[in-house]
Amino acid sequence: MERILSPHWHHLPEDEVLDLLNSDKKKGLDIFETEERAKQFGPNRLTAKAGKSAFTRFMLQFNQPLVYILLSAGIITLLLQEWVDAGVILAVVLVNAIVGFSQESKAVKAIDALSKTMTAQATVIRSGKKQQVDSTELVPGDIVILQSGDKVPADLRLIEIRDLQVDESALTGESLPVEKNQDILAHDVVLADRRNMAYASSLVTFGQGVGIVVATGDKTEVGKISQLISETEELETPLTKKIAHFSHILLYIIIGLAALTFAVGVYRGENMVDMFMAAVALAVGAIPEGLPAAVTITLAIGVSRMAKRRAIIRKLPAVETLGSTTVICSDKTGTLTENQMTVTEIVGADKKYSVTGSGYSPNGEILLNNKRIVPADQPLLKELLLAGVLCNDTSLKEKEGSWVVQGDPTEGALLVAGRKAGFDETELSEHYSRIDAIPFESQHQYMATLHAIPDADYNIIYVKGSLEAILERSSVALGSNLQPGELVADAIEKSAETMAARGLRVLAFARKTINKADEKIDHADIQNDLEFIGLQAMIDPPRPEAIKAVKACQTAGVSVKMITGDHVLTAKEIGRQIGITNSGEQNGLKSAYTGKELEQLSDSEFIRAANYAGIFARVTPEQKLRLVQALQSSAHVVAMTGDGVNDAPALKRADIGTAMGITGTEVAKEASDMVLTDDNFASIEAAVEEGRGVFDNLTKFIVWTLPTNLGEGLVILAAIFAGVMLPIIPLQILWINMTTAILLGLMLAFEPKEPGIMMRKPRNPQTPILTGNLILRILLVGGMMLLGAFGIFKWELDRGMSLEEARTAAVNVFVFIEIFYLFNSRSLSGSVFKIGFFSNPILFAGVAIMITLQMLFTYVPLFNSMFQSAPIGWDVWGRVLLIALATSLVVAIEKWITNKRFKRTA
């Protein structure tokens, strides 16, 4: 039975398949054989992969450098017996852990969702009898009967077909149902073109068929995808990488400075306990307690903003990752396109018409030589559109303001074309009542309908189908005034080939009149003597907003690539229309590749192709995953969109996996970081814009908060080195850090996006959060805080003020420098007046509350006793404000110099 594992069932004749599987087409397997095979192959379900326990996953949430900093701050404040502050800090740690834990285990959920897609009932033949069994009981060699509406329960080699059509979009990305046949295929035919196979989790949309089970459970194609999902490594986001690196550096600096403080003090003969508390004060000052909370809240605000723009974020760091994106790999159908077939060109006699509008909306016009025409004045055009509307089993309806097709999308496109000419299918059906019909069958490649003509002594047959099927049955072609003329097949074929080469799907139309008494038709009636009417060509058109969004991404330096299961010609035409093109072949590289072509490439050639080409058609799930990995190996941050089971491994591997909310499978959604509620590429572009804004605001917070931590640390260090009393004590440091982080720093999370944010190139993923210029600014402001706080502390003591008053003045220097510097930080490079001084009203509310709290800190006795502060005079306030204003001016000058130098070197 090892032969059952053959991967090339599509390449073998039916008899050989039956022989290899020891099965019988008429009788199937007997009950004893099914039991034996069930023991050998196991149940037809996906194997659940063992994962970490819930407790382990929860504890791992604490294994992060940022959390180490928070835990350190919490423990230190506990040692200081500051229960409220300790409680706040440890509560932040706990909330972060709970949020992270709730968003874990994507792979497990994705595999669970896959298992659900495979659970169904199956009709089988066993021991010569037809019976219903649970799909989990199927074994290789079972004979399965398929009917319209069935979910395919296992991988099948088809051995009987009757007009069978299967929707494989979730597995292959093919946008339309696939017509199946029993032909023997070449062994290297890609999955999407294996017309004699039906795969587990796909859906029968039309016809009937019989197949023999060739793979079950983990051995099915969907099982292989499950394995890919579980094995796919999920990358850290750029933000988590940068914050982790930044936090490690910060930890080492804090530990080093605290140890240095302790050592210097002891060396100078100071009391060891006092020096330990001084080291603690330095550590408390240097730890940015508000940073993890600020990161979480800034990202959460980004999530809220993106939700309003139809992008739902499943993982918080994904918000920032979008801002780092350098390549977007997008599915075609429904994301870049309308997912609504639309007639765009009509050819009749020697005239070629173009049709405006897109999708199922009947808004549009018919043009000849770019001029609007009245279809009623064009007899042949009218007849061609009439044929498309009458030879049709689909209906077009308006629901909640949008137009939907009930039936075949291709026929829906014909109805819409008719509507644009003023033809209402309901009225026409009443006027030209249908008497009989020949439904579409794949072996004939046409559909025909018989209609009664009012006040006429004949009935008329309208026929639509493939060009080959219609041409070989036609004897004449109708002219522009419906006069019969010579049928020039070569010219018609050339016209059709030209349209097909641009990815359009071409349908041919013909008619035939018969006696009034004939009210039945069969294939013999339309075998010959048809009158050829013309052609209608259609395509799933690009979304107008997608065209703008692609251009906006390209302007922003983000490359857009199309990865689709559709045909390469169609993909190239859509790519041309939306602007996903390059200069063609270059150094052996092509602008578009098929999955079959990708198979032939070495690893290095594959990476070069992934970076150069803009279109990849007919690709397998493994190739989608490999494309993502190839781009990432070239240091790209990759966003990948998808909706099918076949997309899940690539979605999980991508830096940003983006699933479709409307058409997406549960598997794709569970493997993703973001879900688009409208399945629209424009929402991805909006999310990239929001992501850039989020990173800007995070950087602004870090650049704003670190000078305070640096200044506090330096003040403690300077005091120890100078052998003087501490200008600020640990409790006052905690007051500064916790109040300003919440009331001032977090207000930066509400900053609107700066103008021109999508005109910038993407950030290099290797670039650290803080550039050289920003580090210089942090050192500059931290130095100003050291000079200001230490200077005013010493000044007030020398003037005879108490220690508490001097320390209160120093604390206020820190707070008011932070307030003034907050306005500098609203733009990293420009003036606050350029972005709109009053554009963030929440910031002003935060400043007002902070000033109020400082008044309480300074003048209310309860606060004086809690924080060892004391009231100060107005002259002291004057010096505090002067120091804060001077710091703000210094930063403004630094920005001006930096911008001038940048312009000179640009």
Query: What residues are labeled active site?
Result: 331
Q: Which of 473, 414, 469, 410 is nearest to 442 (CA)?
A: 469
| Token couple for 753 | 């996006």
Task: Quickly tell me which residue has 């350098």 as its tokens.
Answer: 326
| Token couple for 462 | 């309208």
Are 331 and 173 within 8 A, CB to CB? yes
Measured at the CA of 844, the angle between CA 839 and CA 849, to 5 degrees, comes to: 160
DSSP 151: B
Sequence-ordered list of residues with C-beta below 8 angstroms from that of 108, at least 6 positions apart, any chain: 48, 49, 51
CA dist., res. 314 & res. 295, Å (int): 16
CA dist., res. 279 & res. 255, Å (int): 9
CA dist., res. 417 & res. 385, Å (int): 7
CA dist., res. 888 & res. 895, Å (int): 11
Helix axes 409-420 and 379-390, enclosed angle (nearest 10):
140
CA dist., res. 753 & res. 75, Å (int): 37
| Token couple for 127 | 């021991």
3 CB-contact burial (10 Å; exposed 0-12 / middle 13-18 / buried 19+): exposed
Are 745 and 843 within 8 A, CB to CB? no
CA distances from 796 to 261, 637, 667, 887 (A): 25, 54, 67, 20
Are 330 and 561 within 8 A, CB to CB? yes
| Element at 111 (helix H, strand E) | helix 106-118
Three-state secondary-structure class, residue 64: coil
DSSP3 helix / strand / coil % (the chain, rounded to 5): 50, 20, 30
Are 718 and 282 within 8 A, CB to CB? no
Sequence-ordered list of residues with C-beta below 8 angstroms from that of 39, at least 6 positions apart, any chain: none
Three-state secondary-structure class, residue 458: strand
Three-state secondary-structure class, residue 201: coil
Task: Quickly tell me which residue has 């659900």 as its tokens.
Answer: 116
Q: What is the CA radius of gyration of the chain?
A: 36
Write a three-state SS string for 334-387: CCCECCCCEEEEEEECCEEEEECCCCCCCCCCEEECCEECCHHHCHHHHHHHHH
